Chain A
Amino acid sequence: MPAERARNYQKGLKAERRAVWWLRLKGYRILGSRVKTPVGEIDLLAKRGTVLVAVEVKTRPHIADAMEAIPPRQWQRIAKALEWWLAGHQQKSFSNKPPDLRFDAVFISPGSWPRHIRDAWRPGGLK
């Protein structure tokens, strides 16, 4: 199995790079990728204006599959991780004002443009 795992890892990295550029083109500043905290991991952290966005990147052969690929437990981990991260970085990047938080998703599939879902979900349930 190690060979397949490594392949998946590489695929994930590639997808994240595509997502990073896609977001940059849309005017987001990427603050970090693969942000690891003790409570969870965030694929991409981006910022635009006063909004801090936690982005989850997903790769699936078909875009419809990608939409359903994120289990609710993972959402909760992302929300916790974002709060954790924010606790350490509050003042640095947001001119002393607490930022608005948003949770987005970017779906990558071969042969089509990345799809960026803004405000994809909210803690306490999907919208």
Chain B
Amino acid sequence: MRVALMVTCVNDAMFPGTGQAVVRLLRRLGVEVDFPAAQTCCGQPMVNTGYLDEAVPAVRSFVRAFEGYDAVVTPSGSCAGSARHQHRLVAQRSGDTGLVAAVAATSPRTYELSEFLIDVLGVSDVGAYFPHSVTYHPTCHSLRMLGVGDRPRRLLEQVRGLRLLDLPKAEECCGFGGTFALKNSDTSVAMGSDKARHVRETGAEVLVAGDNSCLMHIGGVLGRGRSGVRVLHLAEILASTEEQPA
């Protein structure tokens, strides 16, 4: 099986540790993963702000980079959602039937990390060790666009040493929303503050989620409040071992 890592533009530029964690984790599970260097961005920031024409070059880069792979794995629910649900829209808008066909081939082979681990590899115990109390925020696109359900929790429950604490109102949006965080920053912060409050109510040391963009927002609110809660991507906890702790 040829597996490619789609690291996402946010992780590439801001959170390389998450991409490195996916590589370590998949190797440990016996999966040889490629990083096609032609990849850039899934196009979601443009699509979700209404700039469909501007998303076309990104979608072209996507299919160019990932054509021919059996599976494209990404540590982001929202970027997987973009590839699976929005690429067709962008390709149709471009009027390029070749791009429409290429998207039809790559879209269904794109998996969010927890989907790939549970559905494709069939593992829930990935041999991780993380001796901390953790609470999990299910990000909206992974929950409602992809329907990952309890897959991330099933993976976390198998991590040795990890104590999983329930997050109140877990399924409520954190208020990030891409450019919403800037265009409607006041509302975004109001939502983020409530999410941060619920995180603190759990008493957990670490907040985990499957999307670093949401974590950057919640972590930004937690950090500004000097709350002493660490935010960490799911991949980094799953990659964590006694020898190489996260």
Q: Does A pair with B?
A: no
